[in-house]
Amino acid sequence: MVPFLLVKVLDRQWAEKLLDGQVFMRPLSAFSDRVDAGTANAFRGDLLEGLGSSYSCEQESTFFREALVAEHTAPIERGYFAANLQQEKIYSMYALEYSELLGAFVAPDRRLLDFGDTSVIIVDTLTFLRRLVDTLRRDYEDTLWFGAKRVDYTVDLTKTAIYDEFTKAASYSWQNEYRIAVDLNDGCVDQLSWNRMTDFARLTYLNQGGTVHCENGRAPITLEIGDIRDASLLVPTTDLVDLKLPMDRLRNIAVPPNMVRPRRPVPTAFTPIIRWEA
């Protein structure tokens, strides 16, 4: 396992709020190319955020044969989105890796400069994560599902695989993301997902015992975890990508834990996606 530090890259005004202890989490749908109203993050968009599964074109699938009109040539990519993932609240951080062989940090991709001019480096990872989890439990214990781990860049629509909120396409691997995900709806679809479902999808979902959770939709949330200046430091993002770092303060380098709570089995709603041969 490669040790790393957590880094949040953002503009200076928001960096100061993070130091004050404000952790702002958006729904996963805000990080896709299907951007929700009120967000503007075109350079971060990933069309496949929230993908639930992909299917090899060699594998026969009655799901696709019945769900899609067969007046096309053969499909070359296909899968489905899981509606319940789109509503989850997400907090994305950069994993600043440390090469024990070289005795140095691995330089980040310069595209991180587009994310903001200031980088908050968490120098005490466990303290930061503990405060965040304690705040979530305090505020949302009744409906909370929590997960935190590094993102896998393994999405491939030409293969058969199951995906979750911690998977992205390989083209985004430069983001080196450590993602924190929170589901406040107990696995149920939110009102927006319900509104976008077809009548057939609604009937199928309800017949499986699915319900609609209207209380916690796709509005962002802000966690107040307390001042984190004792567990972090600020550097310009230019210094981060150039590795001009205060090494005397970056000695607590470890492998931050993967923390993903088991989920209660619940029905989900699927939206098919497909790309046909030209």
- Of the listed ranges 72-86, 122-136, 179-193, the least confidently predicted one is 72-86
Higher-confidence position of 67 and 230:
230
Distances (CA, A) of 81 to 130, 178, 261, 271: 31, 21, 21, 5
Q: What number of other Cβ atoms are within 10 A of residue 98's Cβ?
A: 18
Q: Is the pLDDT of residue 35 over 50?
A: no
pLDDT score for 86: 87
CB 181 within 8 A of CB 88: yes
Over residues 165-186, the pLDDT tens digits come to 999 999 999 999 999 999 998 8
Q: What are 1-27's pLDDT values in tens digits?
A: 889 999 999 999 999 999 999 999 999
198/211 Cα distance (integer angstroms) = 15
- By mean pLDDT, which of 42-51, 183-192, 238-247 is the weakest? 42-51
The pTM of the whole model exceeds 0.85: yes
Segment of 136-150, 165-179, 262-276 carrying the highest mean pLDDT: 165-179
Measured between alpha carbons, how far is 141 from 161 in angstroms, rounded to an integer?
A: 32
What gap in Å lies between CA 38 and CA 34, rounded to an integer?
12
Cα–Cα dist 7/228, whole Å:
13
